[in-house]
Structure 1
Amino acid sequence: MSGRKEEKKAVALRYDGVSAPKVTARGFEGLADEIIQLAKDAGVLVHEDPELANFLAKLEVGDEIPREVYVIIAELIAFATWLNLKA
């Protein structure tokens, strides 16, 4: 173990219900903190998963998510929808 601290990452996704979710923002370190805070302020679900963040952070803004993560993203969208319906 190198003891090196992992770089903080944040990726925002948008799903229009028609095509695959797309990356709408991504950032590292301070920008990641801003993305997370904006999401929280807007009442958007913030999910912390370093492995998923590492995978999604390789995408560019505007890219659709790859098939490899459809299931996990679909589960997160379903959970966020359920939370909104309960509120």
Structure 2
Amino acid sequence: MRNDNEITRKRAAALSYDPNTNQAPKLTAQGQGYVADKIIQKAKENNIPIQSDPTLVQLLSELNINETIPEELYQLVAEVFAYIYKVDQQAGK
């Protein structure tokens, strides 16, 4: 049984992808509560688009930092990167 703090606790994950050095995106940060707030704050400070996807964050939280995402998550992560690409295009980047 989960208590209310576990249900409402914010979670966040950060991904990076460099097609020149990586075959797939990798997890660069993840956390909950205060750590999640710091991840989100840093993303905002650096104008990094943020997408809310609690299911994906839950799945990513099972990975280790700097671990490449498993093939099963490629589709979900591709959707996130497509969203980021669209936001960047709208911002003129």
Q: Settle same-fold status: TM greater than 0.5.
A: yes
Instruction: Compute the RMSD of aligned alpha carbons.
Output: 1.7
- 1:5-45 Cα shifts (integer Å, max 9, x gaps): 32322110001124110011111210110001110111111
Match of 2:53 among 41, 49, 52: 49
Q: Does 1:77 find its partner at 2:86?
A: no
Paired positions, count: 87
Deviates more, 1:30-39 or 1:41-50: 41-50
1:1-87 aligned at under 5 Å gives the runs 4-5=4-5, 6=7, 7-17=9-19, 18-87=22-91
Q: Secondary structure at the match of 1:59?
A: coil
Whether the 8 Å CA contact 2:56–2:76 is kept in 1: the answer is no
TM-score (norm 2): 0.82
Percent of residue pairs identical: 38
TM-score (norm 1): 0.87
Unmatched tracts of structure 2, length 5 or more: none
Gaps of 5+ in 1: none
